[in-house]
Amino acid sequence: MAPVLEVSGLKTHFFTRAGTVKSVDGVSFHVERGEVLGLVGESGSGKSVTGFSVMGLIDPPGRIVEGSIKLNGKELVGLDEEGFREVRGREVAMIFQDPMMTLNPVLRVDTQMIEAVTAHDKVSHKAARERSRDALAKVGIPSPEERLNAYPHQFSGGMRQRVAIAIALLHRPPLIICDEPTTALDVTIQSQILAEMQGLCADTGTALVWITHDLGVVAGLADRIAVMYAGRIVETGAVDPVLDTPLHPYTSGLLGSLPAEGEPGAPLRQIRGSTPSLARLPQGCAFAARCDYVQADCLALAPDVTPFPGARGVRCHHPLNLAGVAA
């Protein structure tokens, strides 16, 4: 079966006065039906811009300069605004980090949800309201009938995020892009949202692209993982092999930086330096300046993706843990 989403060679650049910022610079990945892909990276790695590109939310000075985004076989790059209105909500939805950005603060929840329903389906006001109420009930909001009449500020942070998820689910899109939806939430509330999403995706077969910086969340939720660094996917593969035997020094460094994995009190295996400016990327590998295993060819030539068995790929001249992959 064809994948729900197939992104190939995507380049999204921002043309600013300070120079061209290559936020996404040759990203390729795919998501199968019902699959959860964890898109992991630190700030400025281009993970959110990748999500925005799929949704057609890149505004000037940004532009998709190259590549293709195929959603259920349909090319999205070059689609006009009218075309995107058809796609958004019905075929792909997005959940953002801050639900207050999704929800209009001066409209009641029912107004916003009914509008979202009737945007794609010709149904009566009453039927749309019923569908909205059912969606709220499905994401675990108590007394959904009364809550429909509330304004966004009357909800707590966790409940607001549930409303945003309910809106995303209204048209049962085959793909939802989640951009750090639990980052701002407390641990126990994050756990509630993750449990809801897990259950909903199992019921409806919705595929997820879960954008996050939290490797712990990805480990618990995702089937596959793609690690981004400076606008490129540097490593991809199923969750277990990537986290157990990372091939890319950056993935390995990220895992070593996690306080939970180290011996309490012992120094963490930190990555030195900080992320390079996307407007002035070095000629060779973008990670070379911070890499412990850097060699002469890393500085001269940016590495291409090397495929490995088990649908793994790594963008590195000298991958680690090769023994673990062969075994």
**Interface with another protein (CB under 8 A):** 42-43, 156, 158-159, 186-192, 194-195, 198, 213-221, 223, 239-240, 243, 253-262, 264-265, 267-272, 274-275
Q: Which amino acid is at 153?
A: H
CB 150 to another protein: min, Å = 15
Match 């079966």 to its residue by tokens: 1
Q: Which residue, 32 or 66, has its beta carbon nearer to another protein?
A: 32
Q: How far apart are CA 179 and CA 50, in angstroms?
A: 10
Other Cβ atoms within 10 Å of 59 Cβ, number: 8
Q: How far apart are CA 266 and CA 284, in angstroms?
A: 33
Strand order in the sheet with 62-71: 19-31, 5-16, 62-71, 74-75
Q: Which residue, 261 or 304, has its beta carbon nearer to another protein?
A: 261
CB 103 to another protein: min, Å = 18
Phi, psi of 47 (to 5 degrees): -70, -40
Q: How far apart are CA 9 and CA 45, in angstroms?
A: 16
CB 196 to another protein: min, Å = 9
Phi, psi of 210 (to 5 degrees): -105, 105
Q: Which residue, 68 or 183, has its beta carbon nearer to another protein?
A: 183
Q: Which residue, 104 or 274, has its beta carbon nearer to another protein?
A: 274
Q: Which residue, 88 or 236, has its beta carbon nearer to another protein?
A: 236
Q: Which residue, 83 or 262, has its beta carbon nearer to another protein?
A: 262
The length of the chain, given as a count of residues: 327
Q: Are strands 207-212 and 175-179 parallel, antiparallel or unpaired?
A: parallel
Match 């939806």 to its residue by tokens: 181
CB 75 to another protein: min, Å = 33
CB 141 to another protein: min, Å = 11
CB 304 to another protein: min, Å = 24
